[in-house]
A and B are shown apart, each in its own frame.
Chain A
Amino acid sequence: MIIRILMLAGLAAIGWLVFLRRNRLPIHIVIVFGLLAAGGWAVLFPEQTDDIANYVGVGRGVDLITYIFEVAALFTLVHYYTKFVELQRQLTDLTREMAILRAEVERAQKPPAS
């Protein structure tokens, strides 16, 4: 039973963190708490995940959760990679603008050397 307490404590901690940073859209909070509730339910009644798994055509609840986790992990990966590339592009634009601006300021400050 120790594992259940640990799992529930972990979920509760995530819920608390989300609650603290509640400057997001209400729909995000609803979704996060929905997911947390589903997690808590799966911790308390693991055998019921088998029923859902059977319903969608998977043998065991454990497998179903693993599949969902894998898809979610891949989605997160792609999401953050896209963000990363976009950030890098912005960083390049910013750096470039800075370099050009500085050169133009330097040029304006001293008379053009021939």
Chain B
Amino acid sequence: MAGANADTHVVIAAFKEGKVIRGVVAEVVAAGYPVIVVDDGSPDDTAAAARMAGVSVLRHPINLGQGAALQTGIDYALRRGARHIVTFDADGQHSVEDIPDLIAALTHADIALGSRFLGKDAIGVGARRKALLRTATLVSNKLSGLKLTDAHCGLRAFRATVAPALRITQDRMAHASELLRKIQKSGLRVVEVPVTVKYTEHSKQKGQGGFQAIRILFDYFFRPS
């Protein structure tokens, strides 16, 4: 069983996730996927906590941002000969069970994006956060020209062959919008796959609020990519 998933590399970007990362990584490893954890210069023990058999731990000596960490993991996955690459959040909000659905979708698409709003439940999501996510989706659809139900889900899968077209240059949080624009620009076949997102107190704390949205928009427009 482990062999079947061996060419799907799961990239997890982590910053200050020492408390939860071990459980998240262990779940993915148990499903038989090679895991690449990129510790984005955390001051805590994130890197040490993530270290276990079947996991490559990469460490940014300085904190660069989630976009940069993901791209580092993607580069490493490519060097390790990945056929499919999955991005997975470190805070435990995604389910490993959704990965096979994303990979299955890649038989007729180049990239599969997880969506919180396609049927499966978003567990523990408040009305305010929902409204914020809807607004973000609306803005991001306008920016990218794509029509998606959920623009900022960290769970995605894509073929290794399209990775160069999707290269992330937005080091911080604007990488999600950047990715969508690049999908649209290079005419990749994109599908959305319903996924379950578990909102915990921890993941909500780490999530982006409305105020950060302004910074993301600033990055998107004023940082040339």
Q: Which A residues are within 8 Å of any B CB, using their own CB?
A: 85, 88-89, 91-92, 95-96, 98-100, 102-104, 107, 113-114
Contacts and interface: CB of A to CB of B under 8 A. Distances in A.
B57 interface: yes
Contact of B171 (A88, A103, A104): A88
Q: Which interface residue of A95, A100, A107 has the most chain B CB atoms within 10 A?
A: A95
What is the size category of the interface that chain B forms with chain A? 20 to 34
Interface of B: 38, 53-54, 56-62, 64, 68, 71-72, 75-76, 79, 169, 171, 223-224
A114 B3 CA distance: 11
Contact of B224 (A85, A98, A107): A85
Given A89-B169, A113-B53, A100 B58 contact: yes
A91 B16 CA distance: 21
Contact of A99 (B54, B72, B171): B72
Given A85-B223, A92-B68, A99 B60 contact: yes
A109 to B, nearest CB: 13
A114 B38 contact: no
A54 to B, nearest CB: 39
Contacts of A107: 56
A97 B131 CA distance: 39
B223 A100 contact: no
Given A92-B64, A95-B60, A114 B72 contact: no
A114 B58 CA distance: 18
Given A85-B223, A92-B171, A103 B68 contact: no
A96 B72 contact: yes
